[in-house]
Each structure stands twice: as C-alpha cells, then as structure tokens.
Structure 1
Amino acid sequence: MVALPQDALGEVDPTSDRAVFRQIADQLREAIDRGRFREGEKLPSEAELVDHYGVSRMTVRHSFSVLQGEGLVRAEHGRGVFVRPRPPVRRLASDRFARRHRDEGKSAFLVEADAAGSHPQVDSLEVKEEKASRDVSARLGSARKVLARRRRYLLDGRPVEFATSYLPLDIAKGTPIADPNPGPGGIYARLEELGHRLDHFDEEIRARMPSPTEAKTLRLASGVPVIHLIRTAYDTEGRAVEVCDTVMAADAYVLAYRLPAT
C-alpha cells in the first residue's frame, strides 16, 4: 500500500452489504469533513487508491463520482480530483438590509462581498416592463404590470447567484429604478427616496437541484444544489413594493440568522 496521510483512510470490508465503492467514498468524505484533505487540496490519485484498497480503477472512479455528485470534489482533467472550496459568503439575514448600509450607498450584495473580502461584479443585466406572473401579482397585491430587473452576481469572477426583482410599474416607471444603474444603495435606496420607507421583508427559502439553465448560468458542478429564495419587501404603509426571486449556488453561501429570544 502507498503512504497516505496518517489515519486519513482506513480499509474496506468486503463482507459488508455496502458496496466497496461507497465505502471508499464514505472514508474520503469523512477525511474531508475532518480536515485531513483541505479546501483546494488534491485527493490521492486513482493509482494510489487502487494500491491502498486493492480494488480496480473503475471502483475508485465510482467513488469519485459519488463525491462529485455530492458537490464535495471537482475533477480537473490531467491533474486529479480536488476538494471544492467551502462557502465564501456569510449572508447575515438580520443585517444585510439594514438602513445604515443604504445610507452609506451600499447594496446588500456589496455589503456581503466586502465582508467576504471578495471583488463583486454584476453582469447579464436586463431591465424591462412586463406583465406580472400570477404568483408575483399575488405577492404584490394584484399588480398587473411590473418593472423587472434581472441580473447575475459574481464574486472574484465566479457566478454565485442570479436574481429578478419585480416592482409595481406605477412606482418604478420613469424613475432611476428603471435605469441599468439605479445609483448608490441600489433600488431600496431609490424606493425610500420615492416615499416608500421600508418596514420589513418576508423571505421564503428552499433548497433544490438546479434546472439545466440554472446550472449553466451559475456554472455549477455536478451535484451542487441551489438555494431558491423569494423575498417580498413592504413599506411602512403595508404595501408590497418589490418581489425578488433569487437563485444562489448552495456551495457559495452560508445563510446565517440572528433571532430574538423574546
């Protein structure tokens, strides 16, 4: 057997009901979770694992496929299999929309990028008037026409989320919100300037596997899920002034919440 990191991997049990390739995947996964193989680090090669476990190359490849399907590793042609980076962005829901950030001219995404020490970009921007879908219309209180703002967000050149904001057309039409660049603080700052002082946000979050289009847009590795978040912003009069439909790469974010205990 080849020399692998001490205690990194054990042995397989050929009498177990669990397939050998899954046992190997289990051990590699546990080694990654324990930090024996760190982010960006190369896993033992196929040849090393074949020698270590006494199995076929195809068995090792099946093990790697399991880990790739879970989004834990990525394969680089001619180089090997590497541990995927962990989430770079910590999204603190109780702080990201704080008014002080808007007063400083920062959008929520810029706040998160600064905290992560990453360079933010926005591309694939589209702003257009359109008919509201039934769901968006219901969330906005039966609005029939909306201004839709679609954009993709990148950190250090990597796509991490794309979002569409839907705003009632009677609020947004002919205002800076309809401009490609709405200005410092983003559309929430502009809404407040228009007299719609924000009161609260409702968010619905679920995890799922991406559609082919979403996987392509976010350049997701096989097996990486997405976080689908729908947020509705309300002003102090109780009116819904925006619905934001966001799809995020699940391996790019940690969602953090601070909840009152009283």
Structure 2
Amino acid sequence: MTVTEPEHADRRSLHERIAADLRDEIMSGDLAPGTSLPSTAQLKTRFDASNATVQKALQLLKGERLVVGRAGSAVTVREHRQRTMRPAAFMAPAGRGEPYRWLTEAARQGTRAHSRLLEVAEIRPPADVAAALQLATDGRTLLRRQILMIDDEPVELVRSYYPLEIARGTAIAERRKIRGGTPALLAEHGFPPRLSVDRVSARVPTQEQFQALRLPSDLPVLRTLRVVYSDHDRPIEATVMVKAGHLYEVQYEFTPD
C-alpha cells in the first residue's frame, strides 16, 4: 500500500523545523536568556533526529545570533535581541532643533542609533504606494531611501515617497539629512501630520533587503506601509519600512470605544 503525504505536511527539512520550534521558544521566553538549550541527546530524542541534523539546526540559531556555544559544549540562549517598536512614539514631529524621534526613542532604550541616506530621486513608485498617494497613472514621486542603524547593525530599510508638488523646492529633494526628520519639515511647510495608517505584512525578503539588513537566512521580514495624511485627508507621505522579522515585534495600543 502506498503511503501518501498529508496535504498540509511541513515540507521544510527537519533541521529547519527543529530550529523553528526552538526559535519560537527562545523568542517567547520559554527558553530565557542565559539558560542552556536541552542537550544534543535530548534534542535527538525529542525530534527523532540524528546528531548531524540537530547540529545543523543549532547552526541556524547561532547564525541568527539567538544562541552561542561550540560543538561538544552547552549551547546558551543569548540576551534577548528582539526589540519592541511602538509606532505611536514616532508620529508627532520633533520640536525645532530636536533630533528625529526615532533617534530619541533609540537613545531612551540605551542604544546608539543613526541613519544613512542612500538615495534621493524622482521615480515612479510601486503600485501600492501610488494608490496610497492618490497619484495619476504613471505619476512620479520624490523618493528618499535610507537605512537605519543601531549600534552599527542595520535594522531597518526605509523608502519614503512624497508627492512632487510638496517635495520640490524643499530640503526633502536635497541629498542631505533633515534636522528633526521630514515630519517636522512638512509641518513647517503647512502639511502637519494628522493621521497615520499602517499596513503590516510578513514577506520573504527581496535580494536588496537580504543584503542591506545582513540577514542570516531567508527568515521573513516585517514590511510596513505607512501613509501619513494632513488636513482634509490629503496624503503627504507613504513610507515602506522593512525590518528583520526575528529581531522585531510591533506594539500597538488601543483605547476601547
């Protein structure tokens, strides 16, 4: 009799499945920082796996910098590296002369943060951005592309798009950093942010994202499309932010009606 594989079987290799289960336990806190993972013998029994398969799984977790240890010794969970992002903390424009709020929030968490501007150009944006900015067919935008760094590690790839009638003739169109960030500049030019709408999805990283964020494997990334509206519901900015999925969680806060 032929044994058929279940329709929804997990077709990943066994070492990837083992790493996935252990990763979840690490990120949820069941395996706390400083504690040792179960021994190789225990993992072999638990997952019905060979020694080589278990070692391949542990190598994946080491590559993601979730655990540390050498073959033949205990493997220990590293200090939890996942950061909690609160989008509400970055919405209001920075005060005159103040740093961009992302930098301020990073400093409050005891980290050293900076941004690197990669590109400023007029381009045709992706379809979802064009729709968000209510552009005409073949409409173009002003793109500012940058990468955000924390303690010299790339943590977020950012593409911000602005309607040309708003961006042209302002510092947004210049290849230089803007003191306080673009929210403060937009407010100064009569376009204060009134509403922000986020669409968050998990995706397989593109080649650019994989390289820019120095991802250790094909773990998913968190992609946020944020559209900022000013007075009269006018969209003034659409930003695509991509973060390493194994390093971030996003926290939203709601008040019951």
TM-score category (smaller protein): 0.7 to 0.9
Using the TM superposition, give the Cα deviation of residue 34 of structure 1 relative to its aligned residue in structure 2, in angstroms.
5.3
2:238 aligns to what? 243
Whether contact under 8 Å (2:118, 2:145) holds in the other structure is yes
> Which range is displaced more, 147-156 or 30-39?
30-39
1:118 aligns to what? 111
1:4 aligns to what? none
**Distance 1:30-1:134 versus aligned 2 partners, 3 A rule:** closer
C-alpha distance in 2, partners of 1:23/1:132?
Answer: 37
1:253 aligns to what? 248
C-alpha distance in 1, partners of 2:188/2:126?
Answer: 27
Matched residue SS, 1:126: strand
**Distance 1:27-1:206 versus aligned 2 partners, 3 A rule:** closer
- Summarize deviations over 1:118-145 as a string: whole Å, max 9, x none: 1112225211112334332221122522
| Partner residue of 1:213 out of 196, 208, 217 | 208
| Partner residue of 1:98 out of 88, 92, 111 | 92
> Where do residues 30-179 of structure 1 align in structure 2 (5 Å cutoff)?
32=26, 38=33, 43=37, 49-50=40-41, 56-64=50-58, 73=66, 83=77, 85-99=79-93, 101-103=94-96, 105-123=98-116, 125-142=118-135, 144-179=139-174
| Structure with the greater alpha carbon radius of gyration | 1
Using the TM superposition, give the Cα deviation of residue 106 of structure 1 relative to its aligned residue in structure 2, in angstroms.
3.0
- Summarize deviations over 1:222-248 as a string: whole Å, max 9, x none: 253210000111111221111101111
Q: CA RMSD, aligned part only?
A: 3.6
Identical-residue share of aligned pairs (%): 29
- Summarize deviations over 1:197-218 as a string: whole Å, max 9, x none: 2111111001122123312211
Whether contact under 8 Å (1:102, 1:186) holds in the other structure is no
C-alpha distance in 2, partners of 1:199/1:125?
Answer: 28
Matched residue SS, 2:103: helix
Structure 1: runs of 5 or more not aligned = 1-18
C-alpha distance in 1, partners of 2:154/2:72?
Answer: 24
Using the TM superposition, give the Cα deviation of residue 186 of structure 1 relative to its aligned residue in structure 2, in angstroms.
0.7
- Summarize deviations over 1:122-170 as a string: whole Å, max 9, x none: 2252111123343322211225221100001110011111011110111
Matched residue SS, 2:195: strand
Q: What letter is aligned with 2:108? A: A
**TM-score after normalising by structure 1:** 0.74
| Partner residue of 2:198 out of 203, 211, 215 | 203
**TM-score after normalising by structure 2:** 0.75
- Summarize deviations over 1:178-197 as a string: whole Å, max 9, x none: 22334321111111111112
C-alpha distance in 2, partners of 1:88/1:23?
Answer: 21
Q: What letter is aligned with 1:181? A: R
